[in-house]
């Protein structure tokens, strides 16, 4: 889920499902909670800074979405690493009673963790659809027009995305991640409602949230189709370069749309995010009470640290 919205009057929380746990963040705080096999919940807490406070340029519309997404990716990768280390430590303990030193990630490793997903995204969702439509254009001249070409490119991109999600959903181990994803959404909804955050209250809410990263990716793909139609470039190389150069702009516009939809859920623009909510039928599943408890522990850790730092806990 996209993290706290960059605005003084709002403090919306965001998070992410990890291996047997959930990461939650507030504007200046971050907490990962993971359930160990023995039932104990272990956490990692860390203060963080808003991108708009560290770099003033990220205060402005569109640009704030770029900074927010970068920070969300960085924190998400760190949370996944922590959950994986917890699982690895448990496996090592079962083989050896001696404690094993935790390996510190190198800067090269951190950079690779950020760059590899971006490279995969560009190849799979920018290069491959463009290559396919370019090949189809030689057999179907109707695709030569800018509107038809980019519409076909967008449809193929979305089809690849949906196909990838479907294949991942067939992996049995992913169901646990989807359940923790659902727990994260329920707890965030509970927090935003102003009601006391409890397992019982959280379970009453839906698992479909408008600020989910799944919805965001689908909005990015739809916005891409519109933007590419407006860009007068020809040739495979020029079109591919434009897709890379325009990616930050598209991310920023998509973030603003998701942000607007989260604040005005009955508006017309909010209705445009509905397909992303439908997609969450795949990427979220109803969680068990113990999974919801983990998500609440992550939220409590993030909000307690936020309060210790003097953060203003305002619900939009």
Indicate whether 9 belongs to any domain.
Answer: no
Residue of 300, 271, 267, 262 lying closest to 6 (CA atoms): 262
Measured distance CA(247)–CA(295) in Å, rounded: 32
Measured distance CA(129)–CA(152) in Å, rounded: 8
Are 294 and 33 contacting, i.e. CB atoms less than 8 angstroms apart? yes
Indicate whether 267 belongs to any domain.
Answer: yes
Indicate whether 77 belongs to any domain.
Answer: yes
Q: For residues 96-104, give the mean pLDDT.
A: 50
Are 200 and 262 contacting, i.e. CB atoms less than 8 angstroms apart? no
Instruction: Please give the span between the terminal C-alpha atoms of the chain, in angstroms, as a whole number.
Output: 16
Digit-coded pLDDT (tens) for 153-179 = 999 999 998 888 888 888 877 888 999
Indicate whether 314 belongs to any domain.
Answer: no
Q: How many structural domains are present in the chain?
A: 1
Digit-coded pLDDT (tens) for 255-310 = 888 777 766 666 665 666 677 778 888 889 999 999 999 999 999 999 888 888 76
pLDDT classification of 9: cutoffs 50, 70, 90: very low
Range of the domain at 49: 14-99+109-308
Indicate whether 8 belongs to any domain.
Answer: no
| Per-residue model confidence (pLDDT) at position 25 | 87
Contacts of 50 (CB under 8 A, 6+ apart): 4, 6, 27, 28
Measured distance CA(13)–CA(187) in Å, rounded: 10
- Where is pLDDT greater, at 34 or 7? 34
Indicate whether 5 belongs to any domain.
Answer: no
């Amino acid at each position: 889920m996209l993290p706290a919205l960059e605005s003084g009057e709002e403090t919306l929380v965001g998070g992410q499902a990890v291996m047997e746990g959930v990461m939650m963040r507030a504007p200046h705080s971050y907490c990962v909670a993971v359930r160990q096999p023995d039932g104990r919940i272990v956490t990692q807490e860390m203060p963080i800074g808003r991108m708009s406070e560290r770099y003033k340029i990220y205060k402005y519309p569109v640009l704030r979405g770029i900074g927010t997404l970068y920070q969300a990716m960085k924190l998400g990768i760190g949370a996944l690493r922590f959950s994986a280390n917890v699982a690895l430590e448990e496996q090592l303990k079962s083989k050896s009673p001696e404690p094993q030193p935790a390996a510190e990630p190198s800067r090269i490793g951190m950079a690779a963790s950020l760059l590899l997903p971006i490279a995969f995204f560009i190849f799979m969702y920018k290069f491959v659809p463009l290559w396919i439509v370019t090949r189809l254009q030689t057999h179907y001249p109707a695709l030569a027009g800018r509107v038809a070409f980019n519409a076909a490119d967008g449809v193929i991109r979305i089809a690849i995305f949906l196909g990838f999600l479907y294949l991942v959903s067939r992996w049995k181990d992913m169901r646990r991640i989807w359940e923790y994803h659902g727990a994260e959404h329920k707890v965030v909804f509970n927090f935003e409602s102003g009601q006391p955050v409890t397992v019982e209250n959280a379970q009453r809410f839906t698992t479909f949230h408008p600020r989910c990263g799944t919805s965001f990716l689908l909005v990015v793909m739809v916005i891409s189709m519109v933007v590419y139609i407006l860009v007068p470039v020809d040739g495979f190389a020029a079109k591919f370069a434009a897709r890379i150069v325009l990616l930050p702009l598209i991310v920023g516009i998509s973030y603003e749309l998701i942000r607007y939809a989260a604040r005005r859920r009955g508006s017309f623009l909010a209705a445009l995010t509905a397909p992303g909510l439908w997609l969450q039928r795949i990427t979220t599943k109803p969680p068990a009470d113990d999974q919801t408890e983990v998500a609440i522990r992550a939220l409590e850790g993030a909000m307690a640290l936020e309060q210790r730092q003097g953060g203003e806990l305002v619900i939009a």
